[in-house]
Structure 1
């Protein structure tokens, strides 16, 4: 389906080389300041042609708000936005009318629908990020960055070494959590790779150029941190917060994996180390470590939420590949056109956008629940203590 969300719902339309792509956003509260100037910066971060590390396609990605706002404020009605495709070159895809591109969606789409878009990736192309981030009401911050490209990585020590080397290993995780607390979008955008470490970004750039020169491609990972999320978001059992985040992230084209918190590295960490101990924080509780990634039991616990998304190498490459036509005849395909040697730098704002959609949807669900609960007359006893007091009186 082309819609995502329940309380805050986004429906996208358009293909990679059609006349325009667009989105309808339903469920945005009325009275929120919103103009094209709010949306355009994120489209600028995602658009092609930003550097020689990405496809040279010259799409301007200029957004126009068609409905749902008046005098610069939302009306509470559906918000429709459209972005024209200006740099279309369908002739670049002529040979692909006969060959399904290896590891691309051509074959599966034609099996699904019986027809495929004649150029580009059709609906499978990652050109659908058109929405404004929610910050004003709750101060929620979403920042994503490239954490690895090929072997170049900024991530902490993953494999748990031994009890003797535990201190150094744990220090690398604390350094990671501290970085997640402070990393800013300006740090990420300081270089064309979108990695907040200049040293690691330089190594990532070398990796991308190596594959670009070979007319090949390379994958990597994007890490996203969501800060200031209130505790209590998530709808167990089947709409747990991490489950909705995984759904959102794995709906992005080229994604092949999702980890939250310690992820797969947590499988070889002893429980007494991996357990996040509760400590007093502010007027409540927090955790001393954050291997859980800010979510426990499918519900946000108030700590920073962080997760990692794996992106495969771009399937469309200029290197000749042995493959077969749709009729099963062997042949060789060397893709024409303008393609990314690595999709990672341009994937960053897409990951941020999808994360924001999930948090907004879960936040509206929780606010609805809280409003319904607030209408019930109370006896002054906090619900969390009612059971304990009843047992004491028995």
Structure 2
């Protein structure tokens, strides 16, 4: 299977299946000398692990990470870093029925169409559990970005019809509620909405917003390696994502150039900046030093308890009720996945930018 490797300079390969022995990631290209421990990675894995509230799957997994290689005396060695998380609470029998039919909203049919064979236990490689490797690698990327002065903040912007009020925004509240919203009033309303869907044996989706501060101007490229294009690919590679926008996004289609253009100015220190940020921090595929803002639309969880219509592998129509342990909403646990994928794109772009100008090379290597 191709397509499990991501990145150019900072490169990751995720591996494993939802009901296999373990899942994990190999990171290649991490510079030597970065202080790194399992607890640095575990913090982020804890944000996505199951069983933390009534709004996540009751599957109980500690998701405890182990560093298998690439670290010596608490620092990266510059060699590949291998990270593993063992699956300890898989119940494959819950999925035995779906071997013969295709679940609506899942990759069952397309996986069969491509390979003629699939691991039906929890979706196998198509499972959201694959994102453990992304988050583990993203934790390393975020530690590198922190050393470069880059900060990433992701959160639930909307769940179903409930959106946060910008006037109530408080980043410290994000992880103080089970839906990861920076607005406690909206979080309470969102919880009530989710509970109502659960009563109806249904699920719901939402929007994750990500804000990035500290990116210098000129990171990215003007053609195929645009920073916004790579962010879009990274975020849309997350299984539940069905939409991506940056800056004003789709609302820009209803605007005019005189409104949508961001006027350039200087700040009190004389640095070039923008008066507004409709572009979302990226112009011509390259960062412009202002805050990078993008959003991802997350679909409702496709595994729901209510009766659904589908067909068997032979094309016979049947009605099904999906068994197993599933999240009534994907959005909260996907917040850290979005943050991680953004971090992987940013650190890769920063590393590639080191060869963009001859003076960068000269200044680095001159005696």
Check the 8 A contact 2:108/2:120 in 1, yes or no: no
Check the 8 A contact 1:26/1:77 in 2, yes or no: yes
Determine the C-alpha separation between the residues in 2 that align with 1:50 and 1:239. Answer: 38
- Residue 301 of structure 2 aligns to a residue whose secondary structure is coil
- Residue 176 of structure 2 aligns to a residue whose secondary structure is coil
* Alpha-carbon offset, residue 261 of structure 1: 0.3
Determine the C-alpha separation between the residues in 2 that align with 1:25 and 1:370. Answer: 27
Q: List per-residue Cα deviations over 1:150-190 (Å, max 9, x = no partner).
A: 1111277xxxxxxxxxxxxxxxxxx69xx5xxx53x42101
Determine the C-alpha separation between the residues in 1 that align with 2:41 and 2:360. Answer: 35
Equivalent position of 1:140 in the other structure: 150
Check the 8 A contact 2:42/2:65 in 1, yes or no: yes
Match status 1:351 vs 2:365: no
Structure showing greater Rg: 1
Match status 1:130 vs 2:136: yes
* Alpha-carbon offset, residue 370 of structure 1: 3.9
Equivalent position of 1:149 in the other structure: 159
Give the 3 Å change call, closer, same or farther, for CA 341–67 of structure 1 in structure 2.
same
Determine the C-alpha separation between the residues in 1 that align with 2:161 and 2:329. Answer: 13
Match status 1:365 vs 2:352: yes
CA RMSD of aligned residues (A): 1.5
Determine the C-alpha separation between the residues in 2 that align with 1:22 and 1:96. Answer: 25
Match status 1:251 vs 2:261: no
| Alignment counterpart, residue 12 of structure 2, candidates 10, 18, 36 | 10
Give the 3 Å change call, closer, same or farther, for CA 136–151 of structure 1 in structure 2.
closer
Paired residues in the alignment total: 352
Equivalent position of 2:308 in the other structure: 321
Equivalent position of 1:198 in the other structure: 184
Determine the C-alpha separation between the residues in 2 that align with 1:299 and 1:137. Answer: 21
The TM-score, its normalising length taken from structure 2, stands at 0.93
Match status 1:269 vs 2:255: yes
Determine the C-alpha separation between the residues in 2 that align with 1:122 and 1:136. Answer: 34
Give the 3 Å change call, closer, same or farther, for CA 106–113 of structure 1 in structure 2.
same
Higher mean C-alpha deviation, range 362-371 or range 192-201: 362-371
Q: Which runs of 5+ in 1 are unaligned?
A: 157-174, 377-394
Equivalent position of 1:170 in the other structure: none
Check the 8 A contact 2:354/2:361 in 1, yes or no: no
The TM-score, its normalising length taken from structure 1, stands at 0.87
1:178-257 equivalence runs, <5 A: 184=171, 186-257=172-243
* Alpha-carbon offset, residue 207 of structure 1: 1.3
Check the 8 A contact 1:294/1:302 in 2, yes or no: yes
Match status 1:335 vs 2:322: yes
Equivalent position of 2:29 in the other structure: 27
| Alignment counterpart, residue 289 of structure 1, candidates 276, 279, 289 | 276
Check the 8 A contact 2:145/2:343 in 1, yes or no: no
Equivalent position of 2:82 in the other structure: 80
Determine the C-alpha separation between the residues in 1 that align with 2:294 and 2:153. Answer: 11
* Alpha-carbon offset, residue 374 of structure 1: 4.4
Determine the C-alpha separation between the residues in 2 that align with 1:286 and 1:112. Answer: 48
* Alpha-carbon offset, residue 368 of structure 1: 2.6
Give the 3 Å change call, closer, same or farther, for CA 155–262 of structure 1 in structure 2.
farther
| Alignment counterpart, residue 114 of structure 2, candidates 96, 112, 115 | 112
Check the 8 A contact 2:145/2:347 in 1, yes or no: no
